[in-house]
Amino acid sequence: MADDRRLRILSLLAAAGGSSASTAHLCGVCASVSEMTGAGIMLMADHAQAGSICSTNDVSALLEDLQFTLGEGPSVDAYAQARPVLEPDLANPDTPRWTAFSPLALAAKARAVFGFPLQVGSVRLGTLNLYRDQPGPLGGELHADVLVLADVAAQAVLDMQAKAHPGAVPLDFFTGGNLHLVVHQASGMVSVQLGVSVEEALLRIRAYAFGHDLVVDDVAEAVVSRRIRFDPADPS
């Protein structure tokens, strides 16, 4: 049965060139197979989000940006826990979670959200993120489809990376999503300014953005342009 699911998904990808399909087509197939309103793929490493490589619509893109900015949400948990994270009713969850993410996701009209880790062997690459504009569980057959879909998507991402020049990021990763390159550059600068790790610096940038009601990319651009400097003597 799993082989049948895999062949069906691979045939949909092959409609746009198989392993050469774009990230946009990959995300589109993910949304179609899972029967979701939208889908996105986020790359992650060492529990830090590298950024989104594709999303099917504005809401999907916003949900990925929110999780990058806030450091919480289904994709963050799915990656950290190496298992699917399912929230069929974001407005009325059995267990309240994501106190910062959930209200903003609901305001964007997302009512159900699902995160699946992208993993090849023991290596986790990121997450497949799905949302629906109506509440409801991911039924048994669809859940089985998405498990196979996540495996196929993980391999597709690896194939895209393998076709890029050694040490380079595939061009389609830039055109199809948002890798937040300025944020990673700013994290390095703040790391030096505060004498902390890059991971801690990213947390400081996120906290500044959240505390000042700003987008994390805008704070990062201000750091890079030296309009904002983090001072270790400043307790704030």
Dihedral sign (CA 211, 214, 220, 226): negative
Q: Per CATH, the architecture of 2-167 is what?
A: 2-Layer Sandwich (3.30)
pTM of the model: 0.81
Q: What is the DSSP string of 163-229?
A: HSPTTPPPHHHHHSSB--HHHHHHHHHHHHHHT--HHHHHHHHHHHHHHTT--HHHHHHHHHTTS--
Distance CA 132, CA 91 (A): 12
Residue 87 neighbours by CB under 8 Å, 6+ apart: 74, 93, 97, 112, 113, 114
Question: In the block, which residue shows the tokens 């940038």?
Answer: 205
Partners of 113 in beta bridges: 87, 131
pLDDT of residue 167: 61
CA neighbor of 235 nearest in space, from 183, 191, 187, 194: 194
pLDDT of residue 48: 58
Q: How far is CA 10 from CA 4, 5, 26, 102, 146, in A?
A: 10, 9, 10, 33, 13
pLDDT of residue 99: 94
Give per-residue pLDDT as tens, 63-98.
Answer: 998 998 888 999 999 999 999 999 999 999 998 999
Distance CA 153, CA 162 (A): 14
- Tokens coding 197: 């790790």
pLDDT of residue 62: 92
Residues of the chain with pLDDT under 50: 18-20
What are the residue ranges spanned by the domains of the chain? Answer: 2-167, 181-224
pLDDT of residue 175: 66
Q: How far is CA 80 from CA 46, 63, 119, 203, in A?
A: 9, 18, 12, 16
pLDDT of residue 168: 61
Q: How far is CA 148 from CA 28, 68, 75, 152, in A?
A: 16, 25, 17, 6
Partners of 54 in beta bridges: 41
pLDDT of residue 225: 92
pLDDT of residue 18: 46
